[in-house]
Structure 1
Amino acid sequence: MRLFHTLAGFSLALASWNLQATTLIHNFDGYQAAAQQLDKFNTLVFDQGKVLATGDYAALSQKYPQAKKIDAGGKVLLPGLIDAHGHVLGVGRLQQQLDLRDQDLPQTLQSIKEFSQNLKAGEWLIGRGWNQVLWAGKEFPTRAQLDALEIDQPIWLRRIDGHAGWANSAALKLAGITRATRAPAGGEIIRDDNGEPTGVLVDNAMALLEKIIPQPSLQEEKAALGTAFDLALSLGLTGVHDAGVPEQTLEAYRQLAAEDAIPLRVYPMISIDDKNLPKLLKAGHVGAPDERLYVRSVKVYADGALGSRGAALLQPYHDRPGEKGLLISPQGELLAQIKLATENDFQVNVHAIGDRANHIVLDILQSLNKEHDQKPFRHRIEHAQVLTLEDIERFPSLNLVASMQPVHATSDKNMAGDRLGEQRLEGAYAWRKFLSQGTRIASGSDFPVEPVNPLFGIHAAVTRRDRHGDPEKGWHVEEAMTMEEALRSFTLDAAYAGHQEQVIGSLEPGKFADFILLDRNIFTIDPQEIWKAQVLETWVEGEKVYARSE
């Protein structure tokens, strides 16, 4: 009897402790995409990292009278945002490299010169972000422009989309790239009228130079990932899909997970280019949907990017009639890659930007679907940027996710017309066409191609305008998303794209209490002001992991 009373007392104490651990946050305007409608609420209750309820304060405060109460001060509460396509290591490393985004050519050259002054002798000058489309003349840069800066270090600067790079003569010499060097399949060495390399390498040709650049150690990668995690949390991201990681980066993630050092949810895609891919696939999935690290997908590359004219098109470029872009992998190789992944039970996420690349990928997936049902995989087309109208209509039958980046449309709006002409724009950045047929859009940013801030993406999705407000009425505004659709694409449908919609993506009972507080109501303000919203707090599993300092 004494033992029974002891245990009973312990149970009562434990129950009391659990009640005390329950937290009720209230006095906010809450929104979430749940089921088929937009759910509004002003109170959230959670315990042990999981949501117990959302709803009205009067009812929930009565149901949980002993809960710890937090007054949100009238702010806005949303589920934690998920970026479905970013490059985590890339953005982490960029914090120590040269960022050239949004600069004209004179500013770019001045930034390079200034950055070089803090480098050691022989150290590579590495950076990214240049965009010749923003420059007078819109022409690719040359090594002569870098050589004129009289910088001793070898220089390698990736274009903003990551699909072209710009080198000085010192870097080309170290890589052994001369007029006699042949470009690999799926790549291009830009040459001058005399056949000499100009310093710009496109897509697969970049590997000719990048193979000689010293690569970061495992510890350096772990540190860079940590830097990226902190940045993501400060901007309201509680989940990130890392679009293409090699074995060493995967190992860095594994070690961080073992050290309990991943403060948000990461869904890395194993890069198809990894030399140990068969071994990695045979080892099976890593983690589970409810863990901070979950690996069950492969990143495949079909073509390049539109800005560098590497996107594979069915018809020639409007502004370069003799070119149709590049297939990074020929069709037979793509088929073998996708088949290898699916045979090992891995989801396939294919980078496809041009209409030719998308058409080929859809043909491959359709052929595989006849052999074995592909729909449970939830395969994804990463970018799905330019398609024929007929190919857009093929997505539902294969249960494909359109993994798209809204900010790309507002960044590319001027260049896309030059590259494609008006007729092909009908199937470009076509969010409304996908949504109207029931295709899920998983939104992301493609950082560091674009800024990490997901509110920039929500703004672009709703307005089809850039952050300067151009064009005034929106660029092809008929393809814009509603505010509810934009939120869903960065929450519940992004979670679905990572096979995690049962545990994250909304604040339904039983899911993790991942949420953010904003300083303004993005549902009620002028849509052009959405991008200015600031994240005040970020919570993961009921724990505050970021608070904005005043």
Structure 2
Amino acid sequence: MKFNVTAQIISLSLILLCFGCSQPKQDYATMLIFGGTIYTVEEAQPIVEAVAVKDNKILFTGSLAEAEMFKNENTQLIDLEGKTMTPGLIEGHGHFMGLGYNELRLDLLGTTSYQDIIDAVAERVKTAKPGEWITGRGWHQSKWDSLPKDMVNGFQTHYRLSEVSPDNPVYLSHASGHAGFANEKAMEIAGLVKLADDGIKKFEVGGGEVIVDASGRPTGVFNERAQTLITKHIPERTPETDLQAFELAVKACHKNGITSFHDAGIPKETIALYEQMKTQNKLDVRIYAMLTGWDKDLLNAWYDKGIMVDQDHRFTIRSIKLNCDGALGSRGAWLLEPYTDRQDHFGHETLPMAFVKETSIKGLEHGFQVCSHAIGDRANREILDRYELAINQLPEKASDHRFRIEHAQHLHPEDIPRFAELKVIPAMQAVHMSSDRPWAIDRLGEKRIKEGAYMWQSLLQSGVPIVNGTDVPVEPINPIASFFASVSRKTLKGTPEGGYEPEQKMTREQALKSYTLDAAFGAFEEDIKGSIEKGKLADFTIYDQDLMTVPENDILNTRIAMTIFDGKVVFKQKD
């Protein structure tokens, strides 16, 4: 009897021991977030009470009571105190180094007149060294409150600018980046003071144009690829200024709740810089980079090398950026019909369509996504045509190509359904509508605007996602402005009542998804980020109010309260 009791005790102990061994070790959270509204952008569980994080991954989402099971004495507690959290925002189309350099150069985004530009340059002349170049970006003549008397083809002339800076060469990029404005000293250095005989009114330069007056003298405005006539004389960036610009760009992203960034076209020098920053643990924004398409040697080298998907998800290269036309503001967008306000002009094809087709085929062959800049309706049609040719030629390689058109700003109605048919993703920056719509009607006329411009809802209803963003530094990186534009279709001043073409508004859910999960999908990254789900990266954006429920007129008052990147707080708004 004693033996049986002992045997039973031993057996029970073994069972309990085995049961204990079979239980998984408890995972404890390094961070627990609670106390506010958390939008997950995940259909099965769109709102949760709490999120538990272990290191840089999401461990649990759900109720606070369940989440607290993952807490121990080492868990960092983040009480939202009534604030709102979403997945980390993704800038779906921007220029990362341009963002940083905009902080170092003259920032003209806020200028509202030619006089503002003159005053900014005159102030910089006071501290500039003799002969030093003065550069800047952000002016946009169509956004000025008043226009100067002397205009040529819708642009100002350089004479007043040259007066305030006679000895310092000046070059100021248009907000779009598709035109530039030079003073006389800059044109003198470039040997361009007189380009043509008297009476020449147009001077084309392969994919661009130098605007000249009636006497054949350049006005100072260089459109599209003609900009290189000046820019090739501007001293190159240095490693020191590159580092400064990089650090400023990271800081600006964190301040604006941006945790990932689709960098639209980078050269080999920038690739080397990002790799260096990653090695030094300074790459605190997830960069999805597009190779700049104008460098054929760079593309060929990467075709041989193949795509680079970073296992740390900091720096990935698997796409190519092609610049195929210009901007609407500079009348460089390539149109099917002439500009309403310049009847002899159709814009510019800035890259041969034969190269778009060749790159699309090579992209499919080597696993690279192709992302083509297209603003005008002809550029969009021509690119869709080339994509279709490539897809039909290599159908076995095109099952999940995710080719994109960057901007897709103005479409012919017949081409809208082609995006879904060809599975082409439109990457559209909603804030462009806010900035451009008041004057874009002058370029396109009412019919083309209403039938084909900024067609967000039509594209979404056709079955394609939209990748949102700002195209920084064309626009400020502020995602709240682009969210507001998405759902209101108003200018940032809140006009007009009801918005422009209100049937094309996004819902707030669609707008948030375009900045998170749909943007992640546009980079083949929907399995690792874009929504708050177990196993995904711990990147979050926290706001001081609920942008999903506040009255529309209060959306622009929303501020980023905190940014969490890779499971760490990288920005916190001061009280």
TM-score, structure 2 normalization: 0.90
Residue 311 of structure 2 corresponds to residue 311 of structure 1: no
Q: Whole-Å Cα distance in 1 between the matches of residues 334 and 346 of structure 2?
A: 6
Any conservation in 2 of the 1:247–1:274 contact (CA below 8 Å)? no
Post-superposition Cα deviations, 1:3-50, rounded to whole Å, max 9, x if no partner, equal xxxxxxxx9xx968x52x432211110112224x77011211111211
Q: 1:290 offset after TM fit, Å?
A: 4.7
- Secondary structure class of the residue paired with 1:148: helix
| Residue aligning to 1:53 | 60
Corresponding residue to 1:397 among 409, 421, 437: 421
**Counterpart residue identity of residue 464, structure 2:** T
Q: 1:275 offset after TM fit, Å?
A: 5.2
Q: How does 1:320-335 map to 2 (within 5 A)?
A: 320-335=342-357
| Residue aligning to 2:442 | 418
Q: How does 1:51-450 map to 2 (within 5 A)?
A: 51-62=58-69, 68-103=76-111, 104-135=113-144, 136-137=146-147, 139-180=154-195, 183-274=204-295, 276-277=297-298, 278-288=300-310, 290-373=312-395, 374-425=398-449, 426-450=451-475
| Residue aligning to 1:3 | none
**Counterpart residue identity of residue 558, structure 2:** A
- Secondary structure class of the residue paired with 2:241: helix
CA separation of 1:253/1:150 partners in 2, compared to 1, >3 Å: closer, same or farther? closer
| Residue aligning to 2:574 | 549
CA separation of 1:241/1:200 partners in 2, compared to 1, >3 Å: closer, same or farther? same
| Residue aligning to 2:561 | 536
Q: Whole-Å Cα distance in 1 between the matches of residues 482 and 118 of structure 2?
A: 29
**Counterpart residue identity of residue 28, structure 1:** G
CA separation of 1:494/1:220 partners in 2, compared to 1, >3 Å: closer, same or farther? same
Q: Whole-Å Cα distance in 1 between the matches of residues 160 and 355 of structure 2?
A: 38
Q: 1:88 offset after TM fit, Å?
A: 0.8
Any conservation in 1 of the 2:41–2:532 contact (CA below 8 Å)? no
Q: 1:415 offset after TM fit, Å?
A: 1.4
Any conservation in 2 of the 1:375–1:398 contact (CA below 8 Å)? no
| Residue aligning to 1:4 | none
For structure 1, the residue ranges without an aligned partner over 5 or more in a row are 1-10
Q: Whole-Å Cα distance in 2 between the matches of residues 542 and 63 of structure 1?
A: 15
Deviates more, 1:444-453 or 1:286-295: 286-295
- Secondary structure class of the residue paired with 1:34: coil
- Secondary structure class of the residue paired with 1:304: coil
TM-score, structure 1 normalization: 0.94
Q: How does 1:445-464 map to 2 (within 5 A)?
A: 445-464=470-489
CA separation of 1:349/1:38 partners in 2, compared to 1, >3 Å: closer, same or farther? farther
Q: 1:63 offset after TM fit, Å?
A: 6.0
Any conservation in 2 of the 1:165–1:200 contact (CA below 8 Å)? yes
Post-superposition Cα deviations, 1:85-118, rounded to whole Å, max 9, x if no partner, equal 0111111011111011132111221111112212
CA separation of 1:529/1:159 partners in 2, compared to 1, >3 Å: closer, same or farther? same
* Identity score, percent: 37
Any conservation in 2 of the 1:101–1:129 contact (CA below 8 Å)? yes
Corresponding residue to 1:34 among 42, 59, 69: 42
- Secondary structure class of the residue paired with 1:296: strand
Any conservation in 1 of the 2:30–2:54 contact (CA below 8 Å)? yes
- Secondary structure class of the residue paired with 2:400: helix
Post-superposition Cα deviations, 1:418-475, rounded to whole Å, max 9, x if no partner, equal 0001111111100000011111100010011111111111111011112211112111
Any conservation in 1 of the 2:541–2:562 contact (CA below 8 Å)? yes
**Counterpart residue identity of residue 541, structure 1:** D
Q: RMSD value over aligned CA atoms? A: 2.1
Q: Whole-Å Cα distance in 2 between the matches of residues 362 and 60 of structure 1?
A: 48
Any conservation in 2 of the 1:518–1:535 contact (CA below 8 Å)? yes
Q: Whole-Å Cα distance in 1 between the matches of residues 487 and 311 of structure 2?
A: 30
The structure with the larger Rg is 2
Deviates more, 1:320-329 or 1:528-537: 528-537
**Counterpart residue identity of residue 133, structure 2:** W
CA separation of 1:149/1:70 partners in 2, compared to 1, >3 Å: closer, same or farther? closer
